[in-house]
Amino acid sequence: MNCQFSSRWALSALLLAAGLAFDSSASARTLAEVKSLGAISMCANADALPWASNKQETPGFQIELGRAVAAGLGVPLNIDWIVPRRRANTVNCDMMLDSVNDPEVNEGRMLLSRSYQKSGMALALRRDAAEISSFTELQKGQKIGVMVNSVASVVLGKAGVTTSPYAFQSEMIDDLIKGDLYGGAVSSTWIDYYIHSHPEANLRAVYAFTDNKDLTWDVAIGLRKSDAALQGAINEVLNKLIADGTLTGIYAKYGVQHRLP
């Protein structure tokens, strides 16, 4: 399978699994309509920390960023909670945060804001592991956990890395902590948050796939059936949130490193 195709398929599948797939026929709002309504809405998963949750004390970085964007536009934020049984095509939310900034994936589906974060895969290692900056520095026999049938498994396999397949990231990390694995190829956002929440695990994250376009991508705010005016207004707000450090601070609350594209 072509790696580039499979990575795009995997990203689309991830949105479907999270209940966040968009139907391009659904109608969101233009800037004039947002101002007239007096609110802007976003789709979010109610149980998906560090991305989002319905918990007041830990709403997730997507919710906090959505609120900051809404405040910058001068309107409150409405949240449409999406779960697998209620996909985003059943509601008319305006914004989809962390949309992959890939024109081929989003063509005809939504406009995109400027990119504000670099996401993708990372290597989880124990703190006593040797310092590396790229997966190409892994040594023969250093077994790396991968998600079954994932793009990471293909990339690492082609590089001659010994891999072990897993169905769940949590089980992979358990084996890494026990010493059954040298490392694990996992979501960079997920492992940042895991390390933040479990300092006793003595793990660290290495963004070892930065140069691989199939395992690293930029994210933006997706705007369904919107217009250039709302896109431009949101970009202005994002520019300010990045410049004054607000966005970096939001990510830091959840242990996620802000990696500006």
Where in the chain are the domains? 3-117+217-252, 120-206
pLDDT at residue 105, rounded to an integer:
76
**Residue 4 confidence class, pLDDT cut points 50, 70, 90:** very low
Kindly report the CATH class assigned to 120-206.
alpha beta
Tell me if 121 sits within 8 A of 188, measured CB to CB: yes
Pick from 136, 59, 106: which is nearest to 218 by CA? Answer: 106
Token pair belonging to 82 = 């999406």
CB-CB neighbours of 81 under 10 Å: 16
- Look at residue 20 and tell me whether its pLDDT is greater than 60: no
Kindly report the CATH class assigned to 3-117+217-252.
alpha beta
Query: Residue 165's beta-bridge partner residues?
Result: 146
Token pair belonging to 169 = 């990231």
pLDDT at residue 29, rounded to an integer:
84
In this structure, the strands spanning 216-223 and 111-112 are: antiparallel
Query: What average pLDDT does range 233-248 have in this prediction?
Result: 98
- Fold match flag (3-117+217-252 vs 120-206): yes
Q: Which pTM was predicted?
A: 0.87
Pick from 150, 135, 209: which is nearest to 6 by CA? Answer: 150
DSSP state, residue 135: G
3-state DSSP call for residue 108? Answer: coil
- pLDDT tens digit sequence for 122-177: 999 999 999 999 999 999 999 999 999 999 999 999 999 999 999 999 999 999 99
Longest C-alpha distance within the chain, in Å? 61
3-state DSSP call for residue 163? Answer: strand
CA distances from 193 to 42, 97, 161, 173, 202 (A): 22, 18, 26, 13, 13
Cβ within 8 Å of residue 146, ≥6 positions away:
152, 153, 156, 163, 164, 165, 166, 172, 184, 185
- Look at residue 13 and tell me whether its pLDDT is greater than 60: no
- One-letter amino acid at 215 equals L
pLDDT at residue 5, rounded to an integer:
38
Mean pLDDT of the chain: 88
pLDDT at residue 84, rounded to an integer:
55
Interhelix angle for 228-243 vs 61-73, to 10°? 110
Q: From CA 220, how far away is CA 250, in angstroms rounded?
A: 16
